[in-house]
Structure 1
């Protein structure tokens, strides 16, 4: 009789726990929104969807009784397309959280819609530091990198080693403008000067006229305030014009391991850039990269894809702690309350402005003779501690920050 009583008590306890968890529609639904087939497809794309799904699996959601579904959409790098998908997901498809969203103009739109709908936006792909500045939101966390971190990592290092005069080739949309702005501030603060800049259509294929203007400026450094395919095309065409051979240097202000792979070491060797993550930095990263490569045609993961994994992992921890995904602002508040820790980004935290804090790395592309095998492309030159890597909290202008 006592055994039967214990069994009934246990069953009631489990039922109470399940009833207490308020997951909307009984499902925690995650939407990966990015460029699935265009300019930034290698940066996040299908690999980003895989990373989100892997985070759910590694978290053990099913074993914990958490039903999690991952869907994906292609915003085509267009704010209107991304906005339509987000509204459909939030209003009709019951998506609780959107993750990734490369292309800052799309991300800023998703940021606003997410706040209106009181959902969650975890930004891994976009760069604009405005997401934790004037446009900060109680529903958004900016995870992987931003324009301030890129400027202060790469820009500062180049100026301090003699690259004093700069000319920018800038992608003509929110991301490019923010990256040029933040890098210019760093260059000037460290005794350098910007002698000129030109805005290039986004996306672009022919950068010849812009490169010729940069070459004619005689600037020591040509700062490429663009990304993905635009950066790759800029560097390839600069090589055709003999710009580096002529004594000027290129600064890829936002580069990814996928860009280096597309360029090849012969063309990319010697480039310095800042990254949040590198697949060959430690055993945990290498193990993840091996899994990723097996599922993604032999490619190594970018920092954006690693950031998606990390962000989704922490989101699930917060939802589990709250036993609810219903109120986006409350979920983000819980994410800020809990310290972050996962196998790819280690220990960190989320500031009140929504900035995820972690170390960044200044890297240099290896010479072909230095590479020991496929995807062995980078040397870590410097670890930039989190409190130096990102903009000071007081300087961002985020309305959420108490003065």
Structure 2
């Protein structure tokens, strides 16, 4: 058959049509290495293991199972590892996962210093980072990445609200006891800016090493300072140790207020209501908030014999949203999936009408809670009174103030 102009045009049209279908159609869905593999990198054995650790791994496994065990017809695999709170260990595991074990996304990452290093690695290797636990605002600020998200909280959301509430009640002098690593430094910086912006004063700061068994040397200067508020810019067992020792020293009995911005239900459980009662802070999730949260928590409790923390619930939510985004994008390629994560709303037991912004911050409502008195608690793990719901657009740093270079100004 002779090749005519009309034949060529018909051939080109058919090719273009097929090409369009190849790009957008489900028949061409692509999953690298025929498996979607998610690595949960967390504190499995250290002082943050209760609020993350095995519970975070379980939450990711629950999300994969609830999704159906497959995405785009390919199996979902969840693996986990302990970073031991050492950046070289954490990055080494992540690099091995990506280069040798075909891991597509890294979840949780309980340490801000390690998370910042993981963010650099996943950006370089074109993988997705699903940060549930680290608090540093640099993750969605000046060091943001197009392939990472910060899901549950950050140091801005948990520090600014309580500080403003305290200042509004006439508490205008603060002493800050800070964990001496990236998370604590970030929290101290944000808190100081929030305090001084209102004309109040930070009368002193002191930094303690990670994993300190005795924090008396850091609490005594805070007590002696006469500051109306002592802020614990720390977390995990360091924080619970500080609260216990503050009680022993009679700090609150002496009239000073103790505030712990980054506190979780596992910390309250470890302290007991007798010690923790009356402390208020910001939470991203509470198991007894509604029927949906209770249903998830019941399933989680059956496996862990503990109620989920906000961080563990956030692992479930972020992994589920990641899988939904793979399905919607038709590929597990990191940039395409990350773009879809920013496009799709987050609607689950963890967040209603949540939104992943262009800087990677997942914006959702937060809760201002206060620990109940023992007489108010009606059952095990009945620990919080919810004082207020803080809308997401007020809880997190406004996008207009973001230092993320990805944000269009």
TM-score for both structures, normalised by structure 1: 0.94
CA distance in 1 between counterparts of 2:51 and 2:232 reads 17
The match for 1:174 is 182
1:313 pairs, out of 320, 326, 337, with 320
The match for 1:393 is 399
2:309 counterpart of 1:302 = yes
The match for 1:60 is 68
CA distance in 2 between counterparts of 1:143 and 1:159 reads 28
The 5 A counterparts of 1:292-371 are 292-296=300-304, 298-325=305-332, 327-371=333-377
The match for 2:221 is 213
Where do 5+ consecutive residues of structure 1 fail to align?
Answer: 1-15
The match for 2:255 is 247
The match for 1:263 is 271
Q: Deviation per CA, 1:153-208, whole angstroms, max 9, x where unpaired?
A: 22222221222110010000000000011111111223321100001011211100
Is 2:131–2:150's contact at 8 Å kept on the other side of the alignment?
yes
2:290 counterpart of 1:282 = yes
Single out whichever of 114-123 and 199-208 deviates more from structure 2. Answer: 199-208
CA shift at 1:18, angstroms? 7.5
The match for 2:4 is none
Is 1:30–1:99's contact at 8 Å kept on the other side of the alignment?
yes
Q: 1:115 to 1:64 in 2, by over 3 A?
A: closer
The 5 A counterparts of 1:2-401 are 20-62=28-70, 65-296=73-304, 298-325=305-332, 327-401=333-407
The match for 2:16 is none
CA shift at 1:346, angstroms? 2.3
Single out whichever of 89-98 and 57-66 deviates more from structure 2. Answer: 57-66
CA distance in 1 between counterparts of 2:163 and 2:82 reads 32
Is 1:313–1:342's contact at 8 Å kept on the other side of the alignment?
no
CA distance in 2 between counterparts of 1:161 and 1:79 reads 41
Single out whichever of 202-211 and 86-95 deviates more from structure 2. Answer: 202-211
CA distance in 2 between counterparts of 1:386 and 1:364 reads 19
Single out whichever of 55-64 and 169-178 deviates more from structure 2. Answer: 55-64
Instruction: Look up the SS of the partner of 2:149 in the other structure.
Output: strand
Question: Aligned residue pairs: how many?
Answer: 387
CA distance in 2 between counterparts of 1:200 and 1:178 reads 14
CA distance in 1 between counterparts of 2:183 and 2:70 reads 38
CA shift at 1:61, angstroms? 3.8
Instruction: Look up the SS of the partner of 2:355 in the other structure.
Output: strand
The match for 1:7 is none
Coordinate RMSD, CA, aligned: 1.5
CA shift at 1:136, angstroms? 0.4
**Larger Cα Rg: Structure 1 or Structure 2?**
2
CA shift at 1:64, angstroms? 6.1
Q: Deviation per CA, 1:32-58, whole angstroms, max 9, x where unpaired?
A: 000001011011100001100111111
Q: Deviation per CA, 1:102-133, whole angstroms, max 9, x where unpaired?
A: 11001001000000000000100100011110
CA distance in 1 between counterparts of 2:26 and 2:325 reads 17
CA distance in 2 between counterparts of 1:260 and 1:400 reads 38
CA distance in 2 between counterparts of 1:162 and 1:300 reads 36
Single out whichever of 201-210 and 185-194 deviates more from structure 2. Answer: 185-194
Q: Deviation per CA, 1:73-115, whole angstroms, max 9, x where unpaired?
A: 1001111110000000000000000010011001001000000
